Structure 1
Amino acid sequence: MKNGLVVKDNALMNASYNLEVTEQRLILLAIISARETGQGITADSKLEIHASDYATQFNVAKETAYEALKSAVNNLFERQFSFREETKKGVGIVRSRWVSRIKYIDDAAILEITFAPDVVPLITRLEEHFTSYQIKQIAQLTSKYAIRLYELLIAWRTAGKVPQIELSEFRNRLGVSDNEYTAMNNFKSRVLEPSIKQINEHTDITVTYEQHKKGRTITGFSFRFKQKQQAKQVESKRDPDTADLFTKMTDAQRHLFGHKLAHDARVQSEYSQLIGTGSYEDFAKLLADMLAEEKHFKTFYPLLIEHGFK
């Protein structure tokens, strides 16, 4: 896996589904594999997930990775999700499986996934809106609800806040079934607050929430979050031409030059699979995030100089 970039259509980010942690991780690895082909995928494409990639990405033992891939053959094949789809006839609710075909090759410790037809455009089509993040941000999240909450939050990354979500809709998006944590104190203590704690400790954002009431009854939640200050990445073996400049690049500079690079035709051509005809604002933010990593800084360095970086 090259840079571990997860890109999803916002319809999928806001979909309702219940996947266990291992199943969410496998879906994310498959999305990364799909995007890194550079050739697009179809409903017939077979995407490989290696147990070694799972173990490395999520810092687990190889035996744990083998078991995750094996169990997915039955469990992931049965999983479904729902999302809203807009058409000329109106808005409809689509229900779909995640995968149409799945195979585990025991001798090679490889899981082979074919996404269902309704999933393919949601991870490859970027005509409208998309959300992206580095998979390392959720690598240490051990709660399935925390992973989903993180995705719901960063879909609003530009605004830094999520408007009120009605309680039943919020539960559906997190994958909490109707008969789970029905008492509000249980929902908050077992789902919401542990998820926020994990996100604040292990990801690139810090989040707070506000509960909304009608009378004494909680009817929904809204959220505010902000990016953490990027830690400077200093390696012991520095490139004398670029390493010092990389460590001096401020967050403001990353966002300034991310905006400039987003409108550079050469960058658009090289990373066309990440932008389609979608939002340049989100593309600029994605590039700014990439510039926080030294390997990407080095890649873009010649263009940064052209655009006035000193």
Structure 2
Amino acid sequence: MGDTSLWQSLMTQELNIPTLAEDIVSKSKQLDNLVSKSNSLVRASYKLTLQEQRLVLLAISKLDSRKIGSHPNPKHDQMKVRISAIDFAEVWGISPKKAYEELREASNELFERKITEIDGKKVSKMRWVSKSEYHDGEGWVSLTFSLDVLPFITLLRDKFTSYKLSMVSGLRSVYSIRLFELFAQFQDTGILRIHLEDLTNMLEAPYTRYTDMARRVIRPAVEELRLKSNLEIEWRAITEGRSVKTLEFKFKEAAQGKLDL
């Protein structure tokens, strides 16, 4: 027994295999990472798959904006983030095998994804990343955020939203994640009022009728947030004439605390 323990100890040291305790600490640190976005990015129009959303959020949480500084032309490597399949699996609670597949798929498509920002009559479009590399066989991806999107995720001093990565780690719907971010933006008041058309455009949801938005987007997202986030949520549709024009959400932290996922 003694020889076996010594062999295992030597193997762990030589291969630098983390212990269970180290794994837990590593995961805990990652889940404590902050995701910070400007409020305009939170409310911008874009559509990502769940895998792409997870990749973007994890990358933002790892981005060290202090290294970028206020220089108008930050170095290429200062905008670059490396995500391993192991990191991806730990944070999002999936198997390493599935993480490899999702990471490869997300990195392949993310370069083509755009963000549309509307400021009055001005409409601006930008890419999330200027470069995406997947290293097949090694199980990691490197993302380089575009210069256009960088001001929306770094050096944020006002009008921004922050939350811990752990607060969305259990969510399985892109709509739930986006709705959570809107709630986080209005956490001081606990009330979000938003035009139905604005919400539909933000999510780039493929529905034009309120009944479809309610059935396929809002109700499922609210239900998932109630089950998996530390939130109590009530919402209602506000009509003008015969049409639903505005949605009102009232939310607060649940007294019983977050459920184990």
TM-score by length of 1: 0.67
- Aligned-residue sequence identity (percent) comes to 35
Does the CA contact (< 8 Å) of 2:52 and 2:107 recur in 1?
A: no
Tell me the equivalent position of 1:183.
Answer: 209
AA at the equivalent of 1:57: V
In structure 2, the residue corresponding to 1:16 is in which secondary structure?
coil
- Counterpart pick for 2:203 among 174, 180, 186: 174
Aligned partners of 2:249, 2:210: CA distance in 1, in Å? 17
Q: Is the 8 A contact 2:83 2:140 kept in 1?
A: yes
1:83-121, CA deviations, whole angstroms, 9 ceiling, x for partnerless residues? 245xxxx87332101111000011221110001111111
User: Aligned residue for 2:129?
Assistant: 99
- For normalisation by structure 2, the TM-score amounts to 0.80
Verify the 8 A CA contact 1:50 1:109 in the aligned structure 2. yes
Instruction: Structure 1 unaligned segments of length 5 or more: list them.
Output: 233-310
- Count of aligned pairs: 223
After superposition, give the CA deviation of every residue in 1:123-181 in whole Å (9 maximum; x if it has no partner): 11213222111111111111111111111111001111012x222111111231xxx23
User: Within 5 Å, which residues of 2 pair with 1:248-263?
Assistant: none
Paired AA for residue 130 in structure 2 = S
When residues 170 and 231 of structure 1 are mapped into structure 2, their CA distance, relative to the original with a 3 A threshold, is closer
In structure 2, do the counterparts of structure 1 residues 203 and 47 end up closer, same or farther at CA, with 3 Å as the change threshold? same
1:194 Cα deviation after fit? 0.3
For 1:217, which of 233, 243, 251 is the aligned residue?
Answer: 243
RMSD: 2.0
Which of 197, 202, 215 matches 2:223? 197
Q: Deviations over 1:37-69 (max 9, x none)?
A: 742374722210111111000100111111111
Q: Does the 8 Å contact 1:209/1:221 carry over to 2?
A: yes
**Counterpart contact for 1:43–1:116, Cα < 8 Å:** no
Cα distance between partner residues in 1 of 2:92 and 2:223: 19
Alpha-carbon shift at residue 231 of structure 1 (Å): 4.1
**Which position in structure 2 is the counterpart of 1:159?**
189
Report the secondary structure of 1:141's partner residue: coil
Deviation at 1:184, TM superposition (A): 2.5
1:14-47 Cα offsets, whole Å, 9 max, x none, are 1111111111110001101103x74237472221
Q: Distance in 2 between matches of 1:231 and 1:224?
A: 18
Letter in 2 for 1:18: K
User: Do the aligned residues in 2 keep the contact of 1:145 with 1:174 (CA within 8 Å)?
Assistant: yes
Residue matched to 2:108:
74
With 140-149 and 91-100 compared, the bigger mean Cα shift is at: 91-100
Aligned to 2:4: none
Closer, same or farther: CA 43–188 of 1 in aligned 2, 3 Å:
farther
1:207 to 227, 233, 242: 233
Instruction: Name the SS for the 2:224 alignment partner.
Output: helix
The 5-angstrom pairing of residues 1-310 of structure 1 reads: 2=29, 3-35=32-64, 38-40=66-68, 42=74, 44=76, 45-84=79-118, 92-163=122-193, 165-176=194-205, 180-229=206-255, 231=257
Gaps of 5+ in 2: 1-25
Secondary structure at 2:188 match in 1: coil
Q: 1-side partners of 2:171 and 2:220: how far apart?
A: 10
Compute the displacement of 1:211 (Å): 0.7
